Amino acid sequence: MPWYDGGKPIKVEGGIKARTRRGSIGSAWWSRRFIDILERICDKGRLSRGRAYARQGQVLSIDLSPGEVRAAVQGSRRTPYKIVIRIEAYDESRWAVIEEAVAAQAVHRAKLLAGEMPTEIEELFAALGIDLFPRDLDMDCSCPDWGFPCKHLSAVLYLLAESFDDDPFLVLAWRGRTREQLLGSLADEPADDPLWVEDVPFADRLADFYAPGATAHRPERRPATAAPDLLLRVFPPPGDLTRPLTPAYRSLTDT
């Protein structure tokens, strides 16, 4: 089918605009990874026109849910075009495997709990035989352009990548796991993690926070158990001062 232009788009107020006015869209590694896939499988001309649409604010709305993105884009016709972009959303059993693998990597787990997306997470998914980013996209637009993708789809894809910049957990939410679900699972006490420490609210520990020997598990103050002559052995006095200073050293260990 020949490419359908449709004329100039109708200008809209309050549309979603890309932040970048020139050059590439998407700055974080996960956003660029998504853009690299698009630019490899999609028509470059339509992607270029899609960037222009994204920067003009022609996209009216974008709604992301597990396995699906729905959007509305204002083109040259009065009625906005309807967009649907689908990928595979993973079920609970597959996510259980993913979360177990993430929890086994202390650095990955710590970064995710801190709100960061570790660069190695794509390799972790690949080692499990699971794709983090889609290899291909099932996309539909209600416009008459049969190209792949049309400029309306391209605009939505670029803005989607930019939204990944703001919140990397949207990449995982598209695969079926929200930020709250994932972090809630990773924050649970690992049964066999010897380094796990119970998180006690600071307000509950305020009275004994500075007490010697206080820990999250044992906030009680423990008596000193130093050997009476420990200071003498560690810091011996010079010359023949050992005898006269011994009582003073011992008194320090008793306080």
Please tell me whether residues 53 and 84 are part of one structural domain.
Answer: yes
Mean pLDDT of the region 124-134: 93
pLDDT of residue 255: 54
Residues of the domain holding 81: 29-92+132-187
Q: Are 113 and 82 in contact (CB under 8 A)?
A: no
Burial class (CB in 10 A: 0-12, 13-18, 19+), 108: buried
Reference 6, options 72, 79, 60, 71; nearest CA is 79
Please tell me whether residues 85 and 161 are part of one structural domain.
Answer: yes
Does a structural domain hold residue 78?
Answer: yes
Does a structural domain hold residue 105?
Answer: no
Reference 115, options 198, 186, 31, 202; nearest CA is 186
CA distance 52 to 74: 13
Please tell me whether residues 138 and 85 are part of one structural domain.
Answer: yes
Give residues with Cβ within 8 angstroms of 203, minimum separation 6.
none
pLDDT of residue 3: 47
Please tell me whether residues 243 and 165 are part of one structural domain.
Answer: no
Q: Are 75 and 152 in contact (CB under 8 A)?
A: yes
Please tell me whether residues 214 and 88 are part of one structural domain.
Answer: no
pLDDT of residue 218: 44
pLDDT tens digits along 64-94: 999 999 999 999 999 999 999 999 999 999 9
Q: Which range among 49-58, 139-148, 224-233, 246-255 shows the weakest confidence by mean pLDDT?
A: 224-233
Tokens (6 digits) for 187: 């924050």
pLDDT band at 62 (very low <50, low <70, confident <90, very high): very high
Domain count, the chain: 2
Report the Cα 28 to chain-centroid distance in Å. Answer: 11
Does a structural domain hold residue 225?
Answer: yes
Average pLDDT, the chain: 79
Q: Which range among 17-21, 138-142, 222-226, 250-254 shows the weakest confidence by mean pLDDT?
A: 222-226
pLDDT of residue 36: 85
CA distance 79 to 81: 6
Does a structural domain hold residue 121?
Answer: no
CA distance 72 to 75: 10
pLDDT tens digits along 188-242: 645 445 444 445 555 555 555 454 444 444 444 444 444 545 555 555 666 666 6
Please tell me whether residues 86 and 210 are part of one structural domain.
Answer: no
Does a structural domain hold residue 235?
Answer: yes
Does pTM top 0.85 for this prediction? Answer: no
